[in-house]
Structure 1
Amino acid sequence: MTHFICTTCGTQFSESDEPPPTCPICEDDRQFVPQSGQEWTDMATLGQTHSLVWNEEAEGVHSLQLSPSFGIGQRAFLIEGPDGNILWDCLSLVDEASKARIAAIGGLSAIAISHPHFYSSMIGWSAACGNAPVHIHADDAQWVQRSGSALRPWTGETLRIGQATMIGCGGHFDGSSVLHCPWLEGGRGALFVGDTMQVTMDRRFVSFMRSYPNLIPLDAKAVTAISQAVQPYRFETIYSAFPGRTVESDGNRVVERSAERYLKAIAS
Structure 2
Amino acid sequence: MTTYDPVESPTAANLICNTCGTQYPVTDHAQRSTCLICDDPRQYVPPTGQSFTTLRDLTLSPQAYHNDFTPYSEDDRLISIHTVPKFAIGQRAILVRTPSGKNILWDCVTYLDVATVARINNLGGLAAIVISHPHYYSTHSEWSRAFNCPVYTAARDAEWKAITTETDNLLDAQEDEFEIEGVKVLQLGGHFPGSLVMLFDGRLLIADTLLTTPAGVGRWTVDAAGEKRDKPKGLNTFSFMWSIPNWIPLSPDEIVRMWIVLKKHDLRSTHGAFVGQDIEDVCIKQRILESMQIQVQHMGWVDHPFLKEFTVIVPRLNI
SS in 2 for 1:26: coil
Cα deviation 1:240-265 (Å, max 9, x = unaligned): 10121121112211211111111111
Match of 1:177 in 2: 196
By how many angstroms is 1:163 displaced? 2.1
Name which of structure 1's ranges 238-247 and 25-34 shifts more when overlaid on structure 2. 238-247
Residue 80 (structure 2) pairs with residue 68 (structure 1): no
Counterpart among 98, 102, 107 of residue 89 in structure 1:
107
SS in 2 for 1:100: helix
Counterpart among 187, 196, 200 of residue 168 in structure 1:
187
Divergent runs of 4+, >4 A: none
Q: CA RMSD in A?
A: 1.3
Counterpart among 46, 56, 60 of residue 71 in structure 2:
56
Residue 168 (structure 2) pairs with residue 135 (structure 1): no
Match of 1:213 in 2: 245
Partners of 2:254 and 2:151 in 1: how far apart? 26
Match of 1:186 in 2: none
Residue 211 (structure 2) pairs with residue 194 (structure 1): no
The code of the aligned residue for 2:26 comes to E
Partners of 2:181 and 2:58 in 1: how far apart? 34
By how many angstroms is 1:9 displaced? 0.5
Match of 1:254 in 2: 287
Residue 120 (structure 2) pairs with residue 102 (structure 1): yes
Partners of 1:76 and 1:112 in 2: how far apart? 10
Partners of 1:85 and 1:192 in 2: how far apart? 15
The structure with the largest helix share of the pair is 1
Q: Which runs of 5+ in 2 are unaligned?
A: 1-10, 218-236, 303-319
By how many angstroms is 1:15 displaced? 3.0
Q: Contact 1:203–1:246 (CA<8 Å) still a contact in 2? A: no
Partners of 2:82 and 2:90 in 1: how far apart? 8
Residue 133 (structure 2) pairs with residue 115 (structure 1): yes
The code of the aligned residue for 1:20 comes to R
Q: Contact 1:14–1:147 (CA<8 Å) still a contact in 2? A: no
By how many angstroms is 1:16 displaced? 3.1
Q: Contact 1:66–1:73 (CA<8 Å) still a contact in 2? A: yes
Q: Contact 1:236–1:251 (CA<8 Å) still a contact in 2? A: yes
SS in 2 for 1:27: coil
SS in 2 for 1:203: helix
Partners of 2:177 and 2:141 in 1: how far apart? 22
Q: Structure 1-normalised TM-score?
A: 0.94
Residue 16 (structure 2) pairs with residue 5 (structure 1): yes
Match of 2:164 in 1: 147
Kindly, what percent of the aligned residue pairs are identical?
Answer: 35
By how many angstroms is 1:208 displaced? 0.5
